[in-house]
Amino acid sequence: MLEIRPSCECCDRDLAPDSTDVMICTYECTWCRDCATDVLRGVCPNCGGELVRRPVRPAHKLLQDPASTRRVLRASCP
C-alpha cells in the first residue's frame, strides 16, 4: 500500500493526499508536479526511475488507511 507522503522531497511543499499534482517513482519518492517537471525532468534522482502521477486514495479509504505524516527531504535537489 502506498504511504502517500505529505510533502515534496525537493521543495518541501505540502501535498494533500487527494492532490492530482503529485508525482512518484516505483519506490514512492514523492515530488510536486512543478519539481518533477521543471527540476527533475521526469526522472527520479534517487533511483533513476520514471515519475508518474500518484494515485488518489478515496476519502473513505483514507479513514481506514490514513496518509503518512513522515516528511522526506533530499539534502540537495538538482
For residue 34, being part of any structural domain is answered with yes
Render 3-72 in DSSP notation, one character per residue. ---SB-TTT--B--TT-SSEEE-TT--EEEHHIIIIISTTB-TTT-PBPEEPPPPPHHHHHHSPPP----
> Residue 71 above 90 pLDDT?
yes
Q: So what's the pLDDT on residue 45?
A: 96
Q: What's the number of domains the chain is made of? A: 1
For residue 35, being part of any structural domain is answered with yes
Name the pLDDT band for 69 (thresholds 50, 70, 90): very high
For residue 64, being part of any structural domain is answered with no
| R_g of the chain computed on alpha carbons | 12
**What domain range is 7 assigned to?**
1-58
For residue 75, being part of any structural domain is answered with no
What is the rounded average pLDDT of the residues 62-75? 95
User: Where residue 4 sits, what CATH number does that domain have?
Assistant: 3.30.40
> Residue 78 above 90 pLDDT?
no
The structure's pTM equals 0.93
For residue 74, being part of any structural domain is answered with no
Identify the three-state secondary structure at position 2. coil
